[in-house]
Each structure stands twice: as structure tokens, then as C-alpha cells.
Amino acid sequence: MSAAAASPPFRIVHTVCSHDCPDSCGVLVTVDGDGRAVKVAGDPKHPVTQGFLCGKVAKYLDRVYAPERILFPLRRKSGAQKGPRPCGREHEAFERVSWDEALDAIAARLKNIADEFGPESILPYSYAGTIGVLGYGSMDRRFFHRLGASQLDRTICSEAGGVAWNLVYGKKLGTPTEDFRLAKLILAWGANIHGNNVHLWPMVEQARRNGARLIVIDPYRTRTAALADWHIAIRPGTDGALALGLMHVILNEGLEDREYIAAMTYGFDRLAERARDYTPDRVAAWTGMTAAEIEQLAREYATTRPAALRLNYGVQRTENGGTAVRAIAMLPALTGAWKYRGGGGQLSTSGAFPWDKKAVERPDLALASPLGRLARVVNMSALGAALTELGQQPSPDSDAQPQSGPPVKALFVYNSNPGAVAPNHNAVKRGLARPDLFTVVHELFFTDTTDYADYILPATTFLEHTDVQGAYGHYFVQLSQQAIDPPGEARSNVWLFSQLAQRMGFDEPCFRDSAEDLIKAALAIGPDGHSTRPEMEHITLDGLKQQGHIPLAFHSDPEGHPFQPYLAGLLPTPSGKIEFYSETLAVQGLDPLPAFIPAVESRFGEGAKRYPLEFLGRKADNYMNSTFANLDGHRKMEARTSHRLEMHPVDAAARGIADGDLVRIWNDRGELCLTALVNASLPAGVVAGKLDWAKFSAGGANVNALTSERLTDLGAAATFYSTLVEVAKMQGTGIRD
Ligand code: SF4
């Protein structure tokens, strides 16, 4: 709706985009006199948002007012089987019920399951469908702790990289996004800045106008890679080898910064010894680069100042991904890049926000549960195994590590769509289809997961609830104020779990906390109205209401000193220094130094004899994982590569495949059918399909039909990009352009 068709008076409300994106944009929502949102725009006063939104969220009102939105609680009809139905007819399996009926029935069923099988047989499943502090994890955590439900190890996206970065630096801080404009070299390692970190892109452009070079390391020719000065199409999962090879050259040629190393790091000599093994020739054989390219990259990186590394999370979604991130993270410490403003690196800035998580999530409530202790932990990256093997003998073919305890009898899904995004889709589907599994899903739309729900509860967008938010790509605390009433009977996570708690008979006063109470808890607001955390002591709730965003204390130095992380002082690592060598890993019997061990499921493993192609299940630039994939406008923006398998001409020719042919892609876990798109967007030996909802895909299978539940070397996270497949031409014709 245009503002012209709407009725005055208009008001503008400050909200924050809560989608899983580093930029955490300040979003100004114009609301008309009828209480309807008529416009969304980026906050021009926010130093990172700079007044614009990405293409996904610029069209956000299409999502808020989508006719397909679920607006009322729904219950599966008696006799309606679980499983997918044709798109647009999902509602036929459900009937509308009131919130009271739904909440009473869900509470009664959870009580029965907890009594019969123990509360750990109830599994919450959520991730970053919203990254506001309250929406991501607050009243829900209190509820499940008090219930004694299994805890979810939220590993699916960033855990391997986060653990790795913290092993080196103790805390996730990075070069401020605003300072990338000062760099003379920007190394985007697995980072598609132009596609999904768009507010860094203007800084990159400004740096380039001032003479900076942009180098992209990525197996896929992303939008960013296509715009780079040098695109290095490394083989998937070999990033750790390259980082060690760069160290070898840097040390061999004396390009390291000895002064910085002496002042700020621990274990240099042992790292230097290790790096000696990684000669350019050896690393070239793994990565597909030439030895000369490795030497050139090392020299350019080590001698250009400031050099800024933008490392993103794709790198760590491989079997050896944790170690790869650990090795890459050491590079700016080796060259002293942190010393130069605009240099250094960024994986995430999330470690800067000192939220009082204990007050928000209240893990102490577990002591009041029937368990009297914290419950077992179930890894979300092995959901298929959790639903099909927990409490039973594990299948001999399972990739997942065994977990113990009762079977999962109830699954409560919110902020996520595991029917699309979880690895090993077929195992997940088998689990979700179990008739004895009681499944509740809090959602906005009919998804691959709601197809299996017993109850669907209508959820809110970030325009419809209040929250507070940090970021993993900047240093501003922001308040997201509720701009509009939720349509229909949609309700927030906070409301839902507060109501359920009361129906379960949980009488602790914390279950009656309002959103504002929770925000104060998150900010650790003291009696004087200010946060008690040094980084936020200048922040008050009123201040946030007035200003929308407030920088953390260290990012707003009144004397004008810009923030530069890891420049001096003690770090929160065991040695107090940047750790090239980790005693923590040594104590655990793990290699304390980075090393390159090729993934079992890669071209270097035995499995490549049967499945010779490495498969990348890529994220779409215009979706947010699975979010937005059901909206026509977003699907149109992705049309070129939708339902396509991108493959190198050499691999296509070897299989008699031409552009536009229908192809079957398979391995032992599953198969899917796509149309070949033959191009050189990937190195030979690598193919790529795009993550989509299974229900929009031929045969009801998406890319996760091929991925495994094997976990990463650090952080026990998902290994989406360690996947081998074979491809063959099928009869019939695919999509022709
Ligand atoms: S998805 Fe990212 S870039 Fe887009 S509006 Fe949200 S925070 Fe900003």
C-alpha cells in the first residue's frame, strides 16, 4: 500500500530488522491513522544502516500482510495424516481453534508426556528466525528450564566458527564495519558481502575508490566474487590448508610483525614450526590454487596496510571448519593487522554485547523442574537422529554421534523451519512423520515443518512486538518498538510461553514479566535506570526509546579514539593473549595447533570413488535461509538459479549433460531432481544447488536430502558443505531459458 492511499495521521516507529543477518538494520516503519504499516525504510541516522534496507526487507510489507499468513491457532483435524499437502491446500488438514483451547490442550499433552516419559522427552527446537534478545531466547528458555525439557544445543549456523574465534581471541569482536572504508586490502573469505552483508558493501566501495583491492576467496562465484579484483575459487573445505600455506609464506619471507606477536600473542614458535609443513606446493594440491597464487596472496595480504579480513560462516560448515576458522583468524595477529585502523578482521561482533542472559533465560529454574537439575542437551544439527534414534539402538548407517536419554515424544518448534533447513532431510522427515510425536509449531506461514504439526500457533513479525537487539556486524544496541497490532490472533514468543507457563501451573513471578521487564533484565538495568554493565552504563530504556540506537561505550569514545580490538591489554583467553597454541585443546587431547585434515566426505576421501562431486547447498541471496522463500516477489529475484544444479562444463561433458537437461543428484542419504545450469561459477568437481523449501521442489526434497548429520571438528556444528554426490542425466527436459 502506498502512503498516498493510506489515511493520516502518520507516525514513524523505530524498529529493528530481526532477521539473521549481521547488519541488524534500524528500520523506520510508517504507520497510518488506521494502525496499518504503509512503509518501511532504513534509519538514515544509523551509521551502518545509512538509510537503506536490503532487497529482502525493503518489500517487508508483502510478508506482514501476505494473504497466506496464518492468523489463528490451528489444530490438526482428527484423522488428517501428517505430511506435505499440495501448496495452498495445507489448511485442509487443520481446523481453527481458540487460543484458550490450543493452550489448554498443549499444556495438558506436555504434562502427560512429561509424566509418562520424563520431561527430557520434550524437545524445544528454535534458532535465529528472530535475533532480537527476547524473541530469540527469553520466556521460552524460562519455560523449558522450569519444565525440565531437553536443552537444545543451537549449533546449526555459527557454532564451529564461534568456538574457533574464541579459542584464538577469547571473545567475538572485530574491526568496526564503518572502518572497512579505511582498508587498502579487503579479503572477503567465504563472505558474500554484496549478497548478504549489504551494509558493509558501501564501505568496500569507498575503500576501493581510495585504491583498496578486494580479494574474494570462495568456491562459488558469488555477486561479491564477480565484482572482486581477484576471485580465488578455492575447493570447498580446503580453507584451513590455505591459511596454513599463507602462514608458511609469511614466515618464510619474514613478513610477520614480531613486535605485535611478542606483545599480544601466545605460542608463536610452535605455530611457526607447524606452518613449516605447509609449503605452497602441498597447499596447492589441496586447494586447487597454484603455488605462485598462494605466494602472491600471502605477500599482498601481509604487506598491505591496513588489510581487513571479512570472514563469514560458510567456511566453518565443513568437517574441518572449526580449525579452518581458527587458522584464518590467526592471520591478522601474525601480520599485526590489528594495529592499523581499518585493518584486522571481522567474523562477528556479537561478543561485545554483555546481555544479562542469566536474568533473561533463568537456567536456575531447572532446579525447580522435576529433574532438579539442568536437562540433557540435544544437538539441533542431528535432529533426524534425535527424532528417530534417541531412546533406541542407533542405526549402523547413522552419521550422528549417539546421544542418551528418553525418546523425543514432543517437539516444540519456533523461530525455525527444520523441515527445510536441518541436515539429513529424509531422517528429519521420518522423525517428524512419527504418529506418536506431538509437534507444536509457532509460525507465520505453512512451511515444510507445519506439514507435520499437531498444532500451529500464529507468530508475529518484528513490526508486531517489542524487543531489544545487538548485532553481529556492528556495535549498536537498538530498541525495536511494536509498530502495529498483530494481525488476526498472532502472538509473540514472549506472550506464548508466558501463557503456557501459567497453564502448566508454574507460579514463579518471572513468568508474568512483560517485554519491558525482560528488556530491563537483558540490559541489566540498575536502580538508577542505567545499565550496570560497563559497556552499557550510559544506556537507559528511555534513552533507547528516544534515540532508537546507542553505541556501546567503547565504540563512542568521547575523546574521539576509534575502537580497535585486540590492540593492547589482557584478552579473555587462558593466557590473556591471542592464542596460536591452545592449552585448552591440549588438555582435551586435541591438537593445540591448527592442522589441515581433509574432510572424510570430500574429494580426498574414500567416498569420492562412488560420489566424485562435492556438493554445495547454497543459501539464496534473496531469502534468509528458508525465510522469504514462499513470497512471490522474492522467488522472482531468485528465478535464475532456482531448481537448478550449477555445474562446471567439464563435469557436465563427462556425464553427457547439457544446459537445461533434467538431472538426478544423489548419494546414500537421498536424491533430488534439478535442471542443469552449466557454467563456470564453480571449480570443476564441485556442483551447487540452492536451499529452498522441500514443498516447492520436485519430489518434495530439497538440498538437505543430500547433507549429513556428521558434526564439525570444533563446536559440534553442521557440516552442510562436506557433501559428496553423483549426478546423471534424466529423461525429460528441465527448465529452458
Ligand atoms: S536482512 Fe539484513 S540487510 Fe536486510 S534489512 Fe535485515 S538487517 Fe538489514
Q: 307-352, pLDDT tens digit by residue? A: 999 999 999 999 999 999 999 999 999 999 999 999 999 999 999 9
Straight-line distance from the first to the last Cα atom of the chain, in angstroms, rounded to the nearest whole number: 33
30 alpha carbon – ligand 1 mean position (Å): 17
Collapsing DSSP to helix, strand or coil, 161 comes out as: helix
DSSP state of 364: G
Residue nearest to atom 7 of ligand 1 (CA): 24
150 φ/ψ angles, rounded to the nearest 5 degrees: -55, 145
Q: Which atom of ligand 1 is nearest to the CA of 198?
A: 3
CA distance linking residue 180 with residue 199, whole number of Å: 11
Place of cell 549481521: 22
CA distance linking residue 720 with residue 706, whole number of Å: 9
Ligand 1 environment, Cβ below 6 A? 17, 19, 21, 23-25, 53-54, 56-57, 198-199
CA distance linking residue 677 with residue 688, whole number of Å: 10
Which helix (H) or strand (E) segment is 387 a member of? helix 383-389
Q: Which atom of ligand 1 is nearest to the CA of 17?
A: 6
Task: Give the pLDDT score at 640.
Answer: 83
Q: Which atom of ligand 1 is nearest to the CA of 624?
A: 1
26 alpha carbon – ligand 1 mean position (Å): 9
Ligand 1 pocket test target in 16, 20, 56, 628 with most atoms within 8 Å of CB: 56
Quote the cell numbers at residue 623: 531469502
Task: Give the pLDDT score at 400.
Answer: 63
Contacts of 138 (CB under 8 A, 6+ apart): 360, 361, 493, 494, 518, 522
Strands 377-379 and 686-690: unpaired
Long-range CB contacts (within 8 A, 24+) of 73-78: 73/97, 73/98, 73/99, 73/101, 73/102, 73/455, 73/456, 73/457, 73/458, 73/489, 74/453, 74/455, 74/456, 75/101, 75/102, 75/105, 75/454, 75/455, 76/453, 76/454, 76/455
Residue nearest to atom 8 of ligand 1 (CA): 25
Which helix (H) or strand (E) segment is 476 a member of? strand 476-480
Nearest of 522, 424, 494, 398 to residue 156 by alpha carbon: 424
Collapsing DSSP to helix, strand or coil, 46 comes out as: coil
Nearest of 584, 596, 719 to residue 324 by alpha carbon: 596
CA distance linking residue 523 with residue 520, whole number of Å: 5
Residue nearest to atom 6 of ligand 1 (CA): 17
CA distance linking residue 53 with residue 51, whole number of Å: 7
Which helix (H) or strand (E) segment is 296 a member of? helix 291-303
Query: Do 155 and 380 touch, CB atoms closer than 8 A?
Result: yes
19 alpha carbon – ligand 1 mean position (Å): 7
CA distances from 352 to 45, 348, 362, 541, 555 (A): 21, 9, 21, 19, 10
CA distance linking residue 711 with residue 153, whole number of Å: 12
Quote the cell numbers at residue 328: 584464518
Q: Characterize 168-189 residue by residue with b for buried, 16 or more Cβ atoms within 10 angstroms of its Cβ, and e for exposed.
A: bbbebbbbbbbbbbbbbbbbbb
Residue nearest to atom 3 of ligand 1 (CA): 54
291 φ/ψ angles, rounded to the nearest 5 degrees: -60, -35
Answer whether the bond into residue 9 is a cis peptide, omega within 30°. yes
CA distance linking residue 133 with residue 12, whole number of Å: 23
Which helix (H) or strand (E) segment is 18 a member of? none
Ligand 1 pocket test target in 14, 17, 61, 223 with most atoms within 8 Å of CB: 17
Q: Which atom of ligand 1 is nearest to the CA of 56?
A: 4
Nearest of 252, 303, 302 to residue 277 by alpha carbon: 252
Q: Which atom of ligand 1 is nearest to the CA of 20?
A: 1
For residue 339, the Cα-to-chain-centroid distance in whole angstroms is 29
CA torsion, ordered 583, 584, 586, 587, to nearest 10 deg = 110
- Give the residue ranges of the chain where pLDDT is below 70: 1-4, 393-403, 735-737
Which helix (H) or strand (E) segment is 578 a member of? strand 578-579
624 alpha carbon – ligand 1 mean position (Å): 9
143 alpha carbon – ligand 1 mean position (Å): 30
479 alpha carbon – ligand 1 mean position (Å): 15
Q: Which residues partner with 540 through β-bridges?
A: 530
CA distances from 225 to 277, 598, 681, 682 (A): 30, 25, 10, 11
Quote the cell numbers at residue 237: 573445505
CA distance linking residue 339 with residue 480, whole number of Å: 35
Query: Do 289 and 234 touch, CB atoms closer than 8 A?
Result: yes
35 alpha carbon – ligand 1 mean position (Å): 24
Ligand 1 pocket test target in 21, 312, 549 with most atoms within 8 Å of CB: 21
66 alpha carbon – ligand 1 mean position (Å): 19
Task: Give the pLDDT score at 3.
Answer: 46
Quote the cell numbers at residue 591: 591438537
Q: What is the DSSP string of 550-576?
A: EE-GGGS-TT-PPP-TTSSS--SSTTS
CA distances from 712 to 244, 316, 386 (A): 19, 8, 17
Residue nearest to atom 4 of ligand 1 (CA): 54
Helix axis angle, 321-335 relative to 239-252, nearest 10°? 20
53 alpha carbon – ligand 1 mean position (Å): 6
Q: Which atom of ligand 1 is nearest to the CA of 21?
A: 2
Task: Give the pLDDT score at 1.
Answer: 47
Question: What's the helix, strand, coil split of the chain in %, to 5?
Answer: 35, 20, 45
Residue 636: Cβ-neighbour burial (10 angstroms; 0-12, 13-18, 19+): exposed
Nearest of 671, 702, 609, 701 to residue 663 by alpha carbon: 671
Q: Which atom of ligand 1 is nearest to the CA of 60?
A: 5
48 alpha carbon – ligand 1 mean position (Å): 11
Ligand 1 pocket test target in 23, 60, 349 with most atoms within 8 Å of CB: 23
Quote the cell numbers at residue 193: 558481502
Task: Give the pLDDT score at 733.
Answer: 72
Long-range CB contacts (within 8 A, 24+) of 367-375: 368/146, 368/508, 369/119, 369/145, 369/146, 369/147, 369/148, 370/114, 370/118, 370/119, 370/148, 371/118, 371/119, 371/120, 371/148, 374/145, 374/151, 375/119, 375/120, 375/145, 375/148, 375/149, 375/150, 375/151
Nearest of 350, 343, 345, 351 to residue 328 by alpha carbon: 345
Task: Give the pLDDT score at 5.
Answer: 72
Residue 285: Cβ-neighbour burial (10 angstroms; 0-12, 13-18, 19+): middle
Quote the cell numbers at residue 13: 516507529
Q: What is the DSSP string of 402-414?
A: P--SSPP-EEEEE
Rg of the chain in Å (alpha carbons): 25
Tally Cβ neighbours within 10 Å of residue 712: 28
Task: Give the pLDDT score at 598.
Answer: 97
Ligand 1 pocket test target in 57, 131, 193, 631 with most atoms within 8 Å of CB: 57
Collapsing DSSP to helix, strand or coil, 519 comes out as: helix
Query: Do 350 and 271 touch, CB atoms closer than 8 A?
Result: no
Query: Do 310 and 249 touch, CB atoms closer than 8 A?
Result: no
Task: Give the pLDDT score at 642.
Answer: 87
CA distance linking residue 174 with residue 474, whole number of Å: 9
Long-range CB contacts (within 8 A, 24+) of 109-117: 109/410, 109/438, 110/147, 110/410, 110/438, 110/504, 111/504, 113/409, 113/410, 113/438, 114/147, 114/148, 114/370, 116/409, 117/406, 117/407, 117/409
